Amino acid sequence: MKKKVRVRFAPSPTGYLHIGSLRTALYNFLWAKKNEGDYFLRIEDTDQKRIVPDAVAKLIESLEWANILHNEGVFFGKDGKILEKGKYGPYIQSKRIKIYQKYAHELVEKGKAYCCFCASERLDTLRAVQEKAKLAPAYDKLCLKEVSPEDAKKRITSGEKYVIRFDVPETGETEFSDAVRGKVKFGNKNLDDFVILKSDGYPTYHLAHVVDDHLMKTTLVLRGEEWLPSTPKHILMFRAFGWEAPRYGHLCVILNKGTKKKLSKRDGDVSVEDFMKKGYLPEAVVNFIALLGWNPKTEQELFALDELIKEFDIAKLNKSGAIFDTKKLDWMNGTYIRKKNIKELVELCEPYLEKYKEKLSGEYLEKIVTVERERMRRLADIADGAEIYFETPEYEKKLLLWKEMSEENLQKTLAKSLDIISGVKENGWTLENIKNELMAAADSRNRGEFLWPLRVALTGKEKSPSPWEMAWALGKKESIKRVDKAISLIKT
């Protein structure tokens, strides 16, 4: 019988979710969904130094925002508190310390790991000597060679501090088949006797995740490339326990477009929260990151989540780095924005216009969104230059002039515009009517000389939406007021 696919996302709660980690979560999720398997969220918080308050809540919020939803593990309860669901819990590693201790000692009993009592001073000296000799830092197995298991037990009972190290074979190679990279081999001599249980009784990541992935029946681990060099250690541990290792797949690195270096916090926006705040839509972010390392091998670029589930295949994951192209993300986001109906978009844009709350009716917001959505790449763009909808524009008279036109001509064209606008009936105040009327007038004279001054009169800006869109949104009364103001400005 085929084993049920079980995958996990296992972040360390560092306070924010990196966009690359969201991709890891997404790929695992897609694989589970595609195979009708389980996808669970495990919190890897054994590094007590890195604990950040509320980090788990933030993580779940980001995942929920992206719609990358797990069916097992750590969740928000109805009261907003963190709770766990699933038969393999606890799913928060700091609640599993005893389990790790038991398994670490089991490896010692099996002769696959040993207790090490070396003081940090000795390790520092050893490292310095190795560094001088241009050797990679590695523990020299002193405690394995010189402390018998009986002595070790006595020393532990007498309260001496110790760590447990894994006994890595000094020769041979560890090989495994990576789901993304194919066969990968590492020489054991390059692997240090790494610590699996620290002197405070906490496990290291190596031990904790191996134990958990075994007990939680993980079948595939898709994770960042940075874990590839540690994977032989993990494979060796699975073998030492006599367990079957899950399949590992190491995802390509995500690169900054300019520097071609790994995308990091220094590059600006990297956390999911940053993207959320700027008004990227979850559909767009998910679609965009799905393509950072997965090649659907078709021309298709826009994928809804259910299409991703259908098309995603670990056999199509790339090894080489993926470039994070913000321009492409912006394009994609704009496309998704324009797929939204006006009502949805109005709701999404409203928070960005908070500062104009007092002057903003539902109807007016709907008009603004209708006018602005064509040029929007992010929801936050709605606020860029939004003052034209709320404040009487201030501008210099000369901005009203199109190229070489004379003031006399300017006055005439604005008077004509005023005439047209005043002539459109309130109940016929539609975008189409206003456009038709204005364009008819524009076509019978110099277009620029007619449309430019009107647009500037309505907005006070060199660049803005068209005069008919602006007039429509502003309404008849306000449009007349603004054109009037422009006319009186010429006279000064």
Supply the residues annotated as catalytic: 265
Binding flag, residue 223, ligand GLU (CB under 6 A)? yes
Instruction: Identify the residue among 227, 238, 241, 243 touching ligand GLU (CB under 6 A).
Output: 227
Residue 339 half-sphere exposure toward CB, CA atoms < 13 A: 12
Binding mask 181-220 for ligand GLU (x = CB under 6 A): ----------------------------x-----------
Minimum Å distance from CB 228 to ligand GLU? 11
Minimum Å distance from CB 439 to ligand GLU? 58
Candidates 10-18, 181-189, 332-340, 374-382 — which segment interacts with ligand GLU by CB under 6 A? Answer: 10-18
Alpha helices (H) in 340-459, listed in sequence order: 342-349, 362-372, 407-423, 431-443, 447-459
How does strand 254-256 pair with strand 247-251?
Answer: unpaired
Phi, psi of 273 (to 5 degrees): -60, -40
Q: Which of residues 11-40 bind ligand GLU (CB under 6 A)?
A: 11-12
Rounded to whole angstroms, the Cα distance separating 107 from 101 reads 10
Rounded to whole angstroms, the Cα distance separating 163 from 143 reads 11
How does strand 72-76 pair with strand 82-85?
Answer: antiparallel
Closer of 221 and 349 to ligand GLU (Cβ): 221
Binding flag, residue 337, ligand GLU (CB under 6 A)? no
Rounded to whole angstroms, the Cα distance separating 223 from 250 reads 5
Closer of 8 and 455 to ligand GLU (Cβ): 8
Minimum Å distance from CB 11 to ligand GLU? 5
Binding flag, residue 45, ligand GLU (CB under 6 A)? no
Number of other CB atoms surrounding residue 298 within 10 Å: 8
Q: Which of residues 76-135 bind ligand GLU (CB under 6 A)?
A: none
Instruction: Identify the residue among 10, 104, 281, 317 touching ligand GLU (CB under 6 A).
Output: 10
To the nearest 10°, the Cα dihedral for 333, 334, 340, 346?
A: 100
Minimum Å distance from CB 183 to ligand GLU? 20
Minimum Å distance from CB 45 to ligand GLU? 9
Residue 90: is the preceding peptide bond cis (ω within 30°)? yes
Interface residue list for ligand GLU (CB under 6 A): 10-12, 44, 209, 221, 223, 227
